[in-house]
Structure 1
Amino acid sequence: MKDWKKKSTLFLVSQNISLFGSSIVSYAITWYITLETSSGVWMTASILCSLLPQLLISLFAGVWADRYNRKYLIMCADGFIALATLGLVIMFFEGKAPLSMLMVVSAIRSAGAGVQTPAVGALLPQIVPTEMLTRINGINQTCGSLLMMVSPAVGGALLGAAGIVWAMMADVITAAMAICVMAFLKVRKPESEGVLSMWHDLKEGIAYTTGHPVVSRILVFYGIAFFLITPAAFLSPLMVERIFGSEVWRLSANEIIWTAGSLAGGVYVSWKGSFKNKWLVIAVSYIGFGITFALLGVSPYFWMYLAIMFLSGTFMPSLATASTVMLQEQVEEQRLGRVFSVFQIISAAVMPAGMLIFGPMADWVDIRWIMTGSGLLLALTGIILLKRKI
Structure 2
Amino acid sequence: MTDPARSSASDTTTAPTGPTDPTTAPTTEDGGSAVTDPRAGVAEDDPRWKRNIAIFLTGQTVSLLGSMLVQFAVMWHLTILTQSGSVLMLSIVFGMLPQAFVSIFGGVWADRHSRKLLIVGADSTIAVVTLGLALLMLSGVDDLWVIYAALAVRSTFAGIQTPAVSAMVPQIVPASQLIRVNGINQTIQSGMMLLAPALAAAIYANFDIVAVFFLDVVTALVGVGLLLLVKVPRLVRSDEGAPVSYFGDLAAGVRYIRTHAPVRWLMTIFAVTMLLVGAPSYLTPLMVTRTFGTEVWKLTANEIFWASGMLAGGLLMAFLGPRVRHRVALVVGATLGAGVLTAGLGVAGNLWVFYALGLGVGAAFTLMSTPAMSILQETVALEMQGRVFGFVGIVMTVAMPLSMVVFGPLADRYAVESLLVVAGALLTAFVAVVLVIPSARRSLAAVSRPAQDVGAVPEAAR
Report the TM-score when normalising by structure 1. 0.88
In structure 1, the partner of 2:49 is 4
Are the counterparts in 2 of residues 35 and 246 from structure 1 also a CA contact under 8 Å? no
CA contact (8 A) 1:34 1:237 kept: no
Structure 2 distance, partners of 1:356, 1:62, is 27
Instruction: Render the CA deviation track for 1:52-100: whole Å, top value 9, x for unaligned.
Output: 1122111211111111111111111112222233333334434443455
| 2:307 counterpart residue number | 259
Is the contact made by 1:21 and 1:170 (CA closer than 8 Å) also made in structure 2? yes
Deviation at 1:36, TM superposition (A): 6.1
Aligned mate of 2:337, from 288, 293, 299: 288
Establish whether residue 54 from structure 1 lines up as the match of residue 103 from structure 2: no
1:205 and 2:253 correspond:
yes
Moved more, 365-374 or 235-244: 235-244
Q: For residues 169 and 135 of structure 1, do their structure 2 counterparts lie closer, same or farther at Cα, with a shift above 3 Å needed?
A: same
Q: Which has the higher helix share?
A: 1
Segment drifting more, 226-235 vs 332-341: 226-235
CA distance in 2, matches of 1:156, 1:368: 31
Q: 1:339 to 1:98 in 2, by over 3 A?
A: same
1:169 to 214, 222, 236: 214
Deviation at 1:336? 0.7
Q: Which of 21, 46, 58 does residue 13 from structure 1 map onto?
A: 58
Name which of 208, 221, 234 aligns with 2:269: 221
Going from structure 1 to structure 2, the CA distance change for 1:284 and 1:169 (only over 3 Å counts) comes to farther
Corresponding residue for residue 448 of structure 2: none
Q: Does 1:381 align with 2:426?
A: no
**Paired positions, count:** 389
Cα gap change, 1:188 to 1:140, in 2 (>3 Å): same
CA distance in 2, matches of 1:260, 1:189: 37
C-alpha separation in 2, matches of 1:297 and 1:31: 29
1:113 corresponds in structure 2 to 158
Distance 1:242 1:172 in 2: 40
Decide whether the 8 Å contact of 1:52 with 1:348 is kept in 2. Answer: yes
Moved more, 378-387 or 276-285: 378-387
Q: 2:142 aligns to what SS in structure 1? A: coil
CA distance in 1, matches of 2:264, 2:390: 13
Quote the Cα distance in structure 2 between the aligned partners of 1:52 and 1:337.
Answer: 19
CA gap 1:223/1:330 in 2 versus in 1, 3 angstroms: same
Q: Which runs of no fewer than 5 residues in structure 2 stay unpaired? A: 1-41, 444-462
Q: Is the 8 A contact 2:203 2:211 kept in 1?
A: yes
- What does 1:67-216 correspond to in 2, within 5 Å? 67-194=112-239, 195-196=242-243, 197-216=245-264
Which structure 1 segments of 5+ residues have no match? none
1:77–1:116 CA contact under 8 A, matched in 2: yes
3-state SS of 2:154 partner: helix
Q: Assess, with a 3 A threshold, how the Cα gap between structure 1 residues 125 and 21 changes in structure 2: closer, same or farther.
A: same
Relative distance call for 1:286 and 1:104 in structure 2 (3 A) is farther
Q: 1:319-373 CA distances to partner (integer Å, 9 max, x unpaired)?
A: 2211111111211111111111112122333333223333444455544544443
Counterparts of 1:384 and 1:39, CA distance in 2 = 42
Assess, with a 3 A threshold, how the Cα gap between structure 1 residues 235 and 18 changes in structure 2: closer, same or farther.
farther
Q: Alpha carbons of 1:355 and 1:39: their partners in 2 closer, same or farther (altered >3 Å)?
A: farther
Aligned 8 A contact 1:68 1:190 in 2 = no
Q: Mark the CA change 1:48 to 1:259 in structure 2 (over 3 Å): closer, same or farther.
A: same
| TM-score calculated relative to the size of structure 2 | 0.75
| 2:142 alignment partner AA | A
- Structure 1 counterpart of 2:424, which letter? G
Task: Give the whole-Å Cα distance in 1 for the aligned partners of 2:400 and 2:259.
Answer: 24
How far apart, in 2, do the equivalents of 1:296 and 1:119 lie? 36
Q: Distance in 1 between matches of 2:374 and 2:223?
A: 24
Maintained 8 Å contact 1:293/1:375: yes
- Check conservation: 1:122, 1:340, Cα contact below 8 A: yes
More displaced stretch, 312-321 vs 113-122:
312-321
Q: Is the 8 A contact 2:279 2:400 kept in 1?
A: no
1:228-249 deviation line (CA, Å, top 9, x unaligned): 23313544556656764374x6
Report the CA distance shift for 1:4/1:352 in structure 2 as closer, same or farther (over 3 A): same
1:178-215 deviations in Å (ceiling 9; x for gaps): 11111111213322231422221111011101110110
- Which residue is equivalent to 1:339? 388
Letter in 1 for 2:303: E
| Whole-Å separation in 2 of the counterparts to 1:252 and 1:159 | 18
Give the CA RMSD over aligned residues. Answer: 2.8
Determine the structure 1 residue equivalent to 2:406.
357
Are the equivalent residues in 1 in contact too, given 2:183–2:370 (CA < 8 A)?
Answer: yes
